[in-house]
Chain A
Amino acid sequence: MSTTEESRDAERPMDPDARADAEGPTPAETRTGKSGRVPLWVLVVGLVAVLVAALGGLAAYGGQTLPERLGPPVEELAVERTVIAPGSIELVLRNTGPDPVAVAQVFVNDSYVDFTGADEPIGRLAADTLVLNYPWQDGQPYTVSMLTSTGLVIEHVVDAAVATPEPGFEFLGLMALVGTYVGVLPVLLGMLVLPILRRTSGRVVRVLLALTVGLLAYLALDALLEGLELAALSGGAFGGPVLVFLGAGLAFLALTTVDKVLAGRRPDERDTGSAGMRLAVMIAIGIGLHNLGEGLVIGSAYAVGELALGAALIVGFAAHNTTEGLAIVAPLTTRRPSLWSLVGLGLIAGAPAILGAVIGASVDNAGLSALLFGVGVGAIVQVIIQIVPGLRDRTSGRLLDPAMLGGLGAGVVIMYLTGLLVAA
């Protein structure tokens, strides 16, 4: 039984009084004496039919009994993607408000432009694409103002116009290379500390695990803030900041399930070695999902011309992510994992950066990015919960002694300082 399961057992109510309180009338006693008068499925179907009829009636007639909105229509458009091509600016719009929006005219930097698309009003949550005929200049800022049928102006700012990269093999190859540089290689480099770790005492390993928790906590907070920032840009059509927490919750549950499945395969798991491997896999998955978000940021920033793919970026991310490799191998000090399993762990943690860069560069959707950042947050939180029991001192049972706190603090500080090196 792993330490996590022990702690769960401790949370069960063992107090007999509490048990007695819980023993009210059982479901069996509340049923009518004659069982099977009406089959259960008939009841369910009947209930569903009543609900459908009631909701349908409300939709059809209930709305007519209420007054219209006071004031003008609420018109909101979010720009989900901007594609800048020679002589044109393309905007993918989504109606994030309650009312239809008709884009009547468009002016760019205070000059009306010819455009195609959005011939019909855009309904709630519907999307449409405008293609503006405009002779933009490289690197200049542009304010696109969409004049709606009611005279409202919805603005979208292009900070610096650069031609959007063509999503061809060459570009995807470039993004894959960037993802490898900032994700896979640093993580593998970080794993090189394993031989040194093996020669250290259990106490040092515990401090390292505490350091890992500090690193992960920093990453989680960083990703949370980044995700919320992106969610604010997404217009809130699909929930805005809620998306981050939705992604986090789903990732947390999914990873918990993965953990249980991995644990279930070895019901007689006694040796800490395989438990350590399992923990390493979970940490790798958590970090991998975080690196997916990191890749997203890199890819989308490059696509909109806000990123210099220079040595500073590579070195910064490499230093930042090398510590992630350390975090993955920290639980593996008591066993001798094969080289291939180590490479596998490195790929689990690093390769999502490649996927993220590709997605970020080709999709550039703030809402989706916010959701994926949330996934990274949830994954890391789950991993932290996995690691914490292993920090407990075997003899005293204490969780937080000065060495542990020092490790935690050091993890946060290391991540902060290496984060400063990232010139993105």
Chain B
Amino acid sequence: MGGANGATFRGGAGVDHAANGFDPRTLLREFDYGTVSTENGRTVRDWTIRAEDRDIEVAPGVVFPAWTFNGSIPGPTLRATAGDLMRVRFVNDSEHPHTMHFHGIHPAEMDGVPMVGRGIISPGEEFTYTFDAEPFGLHLYHCHVGPLAEHIARGMYGTFIVDPPGGRPPADEMIMVQHGYNTTFDGEGNQLYAVNGIPFVYMNDPIQVRRGELVRIYLVNILEYDPINSFHLHGNFFDYYPTGTRLEPSEFTDTVIQAQGQRGICEIRFPYPGKFMFHAHKSEFADLGWMGFFDVVDGAES
């Protein structure tokens, strides 16, 4: 632990996930398909998402005054199929003005930016963003109120996935949202880097996957204040689908870089059992929290 064995929090400790109200170990594989109904023969999905201010223990003993969607960082992973109608009721329970800006293809008044359509949603107010699920692929949403960087850095982001018609091949699916915490609020880089909310969380609790099974990672970068982020996998290679908008991989690699807002799908099969690291190959980010382990086990176990 520590020293030459690499970066760690004090004593290898973790945070109190229960007190935080979300747990990256389960959030990893949580997909929110919304409340499904049918209107005029079309699938409609409804969600309610609340902006909430809350203190989150982002590292053992470090409290971060976050602004969140539904109380977690990242916010919930919304999932629909191409052609569905998506209706997201956004309720602002925060003390600050916010919006929800979705990547994707939609009318201007649903874009969730100030002074366009409904614009800013003030504290106590609400608005329902309605748009078609297109194009299929891997997208994200975040607050778009100024100062933009601060509203994002405070924790107001999440992933939404639009599955292609007929879906993708069955796999062990997970999301990884790469981000950081600028705990000093000076806008000069970050003190903590992570995927799915808590630095080093998958070092302490490796992600268990089965040997030979297809693993699909929905990888998103929303990191604020740093120009790029990257994802590197040990002992293996993966097919990479940038933005997930094509069904053919663009490359077979073990390392990808993403600028803020870029995302892609990684598909992997692990031939060997054991523990394999994954981390930013911007090593500084790795040493500041953005690293974890896969624990590959034989199929009988799970």
Residues of A within 8 A of B (CB): 87, 102, 104-107, 110-115, 133-135, 145, 147-153
The residues in B between 270 and 295 inclusive whose CB is less than 8 angstroms from any CB of A are 284, 287-289
User: Looking at the complex, which of B28-36, B58-66, B128-136 is the stretch in contact with chain A?
Assistant: B58-66
Q: At the interface, yes or no: B37 with Cβ under 8 Å from chain A?
A: no
Interface string of B1-41 (1 = CB under 8 A from A): 11110011111100000000000000000000000000000
The reply to whether B7 and A147 form a contact with Cβ atoms under 8 Å apart is: no
Q: Of B10, B64, B184, B289, which is within 8 A of A114 by CB?
A: B10
Residue on A nearest B3 in the bound complex, by CB? A133
Q: At the interface, yes or no: B191 with Cβ under 8 Å from chain A?
A: yes
Residue of B12, B64, B287 with most chain A CB atoms under a 10 A cut-off = B287
The reply to whether B288 and A149 form a contact with Cβ atoms under 8 Å apart is: no
The reply to whether B8 and A151 form a contact with Cβ atoms under 8 Å apart is: no
- A119 → chain B, closest Cβ, in Å? 9
The reply to whether B63 and A114 form a contact with Cβ atoms under 8 Å apart is: no
The reply to whether B59 and A114 form a contact with Cβ atoms under 8 Å apart is: no
The reply to whether B4 and A135 form a contact with Cβ atoms under 8 Å apart is: yes
Residues of B within 8 A of A (CB): 1-4, 7-12, 59-64, 181, 183-185, 191, 199-200, 284, 287-289
- B227 → chain A, closest Cβ, in Å? 16
The reply to whether B61 and A153 form a contact with Cβ atoms under 8 Å apart is: no
The reply to whether B288 and A112 form a contact with Cβ atoms under 8 Å apart is: yes
Residue on B nearest A119 in the bound complex, by CB? B10
Given A105-B10, A134-B3, is A111 in contact with B60 using a C-beta cutoff of 8 Å? no
Q: A110-B284, A113-B2, A151-B181 are in contact. List 20 more A-B contacts (CB 8 A).
A: A87-B3, A104-B10, A107-B288, A111-B284, A111-B288, A112-B9, A112-B199, A112-B289, A114-B3, A114-B10, A114-B12, A115-B10, A133-B2, A134-B3, A135-B4, A145-B191, A147-B62, A148-B62, A149-B61, A150-B62
A134-B287 Cα distance, complex, nearest whole Å: 13
Q: Which residues of A contact B191 (CB under 8 A)?
A: 107, 145, 147, 151, 153
The reply to whether A110 and B62 form a contact with Cβ atoms under 8 Å apart is: no
How many inter-chain residue pairs (CB < 8 Å) link A and B?
79
The reply to whether A150 and B63 form a contact with Cβ atoms under 8 Å apart is: yes
The reply to whether B183 and A153 form a contact with Cβ atoms under 8 Å apart is: yes
Residue on B nearest A145 in the bound complex, by CB? B191
A104-B9 Cα distance, complex, nearest whole Å: 9
Q: Which residues of A contact B1 (CB under 8 A)?
A: 114, 133
Q: Which residues of A contact B62 (CB under 8 A)?
A: 104-105, 147-151
A113-B11 Cα distance, complex, nearest whole Å: 9
The reply to whether A104 and B287 form a contact with Cβ atoms under 8 Å apart is: no
Pick 17 A–B contacts, CB within 8 A, sort by A.
A105-B10, A105-B59, A105-B60, A111-B287, A112-B9, A112-B288, A112-B289, A114-B11, A114-B12, A115-B2, A134-B2, A148-B62, A149-B62, A150-B63, A151-B63, A151-B191, A152-B184
Given A147-B183, A151-B184, A152-B184, is A113 in contact with B61 using a C-beta cutoff of 8 Å? no
- A150 → chain B, closest Cβ, in Å? 7
Residue of A110, A112, A147 with most chain B CB atoms under a 10 A cut-off = A112
- A310 → chain B, closest Cβ, in Å? 34
Q: Of B3, B61, B63, B64, which is within 8 A of A105 by CB?
A: B61
The reply to whether B8 and A147 form a contact with Cβ atoms under 8 Å apart is: no
The reply to whether B61 and A112 form a contact with Cβ atoms under 8 Å apart is: no
Q: Of A102, A111, A151, which is within 8 A of B64 by CB?
A: A151
A153-B185 Cα distance, complex, nearest whole Å: 11
